[in-house]
Amino acid sequence: MRIVFMGTPDFAVPSLQSLVDHGYNVVGVVTQPDRPKGRKQILTPSPVKELAIKLGLEVFQPERIKREEAIEHVLSWKPDLIVTAAYGQIIPEPLLFTPKFKAINVHASLLPKYRGAAPIHQSIIHGEKETGVTIMYMVKELDAGDILSQAKVVIESDDTVGTLHDKLSQVGKNLLIETIKKIEEGTIHPIPQDDHLATYAPMIKREDERIVWNKTSTQIYNQIRGMNPWPVAFTTYKGQNVKVWWAEPFPYHHETEPGTILRVTKDQLLVATKDGAIELKEIQPAGKKKMDIVSFLQGAQVQEGEKLGEINEQEVDS
């Protein structure tokens, strides 16, 4: 079976590696073009490209996969199957239906829940107790193709996007191999999705990262976990943005406005929420490195009654 693999970020790396490890004939890899990264904006290859080069695979990086010349390039590899995993562009129809076994996708949710770009983030933010991986046929509509296989994964109460991402990518690589074997054997039984049960996981926007203190402690905790390690939730303090890497709900009765600092000691900082408090554990003030709250409180003059989360007008204007 001639396979073309299309993927870009770390999530897709185990799936590509697994295909090669199991002896599949990966005839080409399509990934996003190199992008500027970091403060120095150094042109950086995607994780999938780095692995493909290491494995000696041919790499193709079209700016627009929809263009005719890009489609022809991929089809010139004469794939029997196209495998995609977080590629990052909409796949044009000729690539979905021309290969003998069509195109399948490794998606990090239990479809039809959380179709879209950020299923791992959104499952944690919404407080889900379980998620999983779905292998499905790709169709023109977003993540709406027939389901070929699924595997569930429990979301632990302290899971972050980072830890859950790693679990799902490992589950995905195993499920992918099992699914391809069934496709080869002709024993796969596609199951149509129930569109009435579909929910969506849109890409994370800047406003999603801002902590709204007038929410419950659990909601804020889920938001912080659902932004860690990327893009990281933030609040403001004295007009400056402060990233909140980790915090935990803390039972505390108060009648204070949410966002107010309730308690400051040498090793504890409590902030009022709608129904209690959040204890900040690990933060990153603007222009500084990530630090635990003890280190922060040693150098900051934080006072009880001060407010977090007041809008930075300069940021709003920008």
Residues placed in the known binding site for (6S)-5,6,7,8-tetrahydrofolate: 109-112
Report the residue count for the chain: 318
Q: How far is CA 62 from CA 72, 84, 158, 187, in A?
A: 11, 15, 39, 35
| 3-state class (DSSP) for residue 285 | strand
In b/e form, how buried is each residue of 205-214, taking b as 16+ CB within 10 angstroms?
A: eeebbbbebe
Q: Could you give the 3-state DSSP secondary structure of residue 160?
A: coil
Nearest to 222 by CA among 129, 109, 286, 116: 129
Residue 248 and residue 251: Cα distance in Å, rounded?
Answer: 10
Give CA–CA dist 168/23, Å, rounded. Answer: 22
- CA 208, 214, 218: angle at the middle one, nearest 5? 75
**Please, what's the b/e burial string for 21-50 (b: 16 or more CB within 10 A of its CB; e: otherwise)?**
eeebebbbbbbbeeeeeeeeeeeebbbbbe
Q: Would you give the DSSP letter of residue 40? A: T
ω into 94 cis (within 30 of 0): no
Which backbone phi and psi does 265 adopt, to 5 degrees? -125, -170
Concatenating the DSSP letter of every residue in 87-118 gives: -SSPPPHHHHHSSTT-EEEEESS-TTTTBSS-
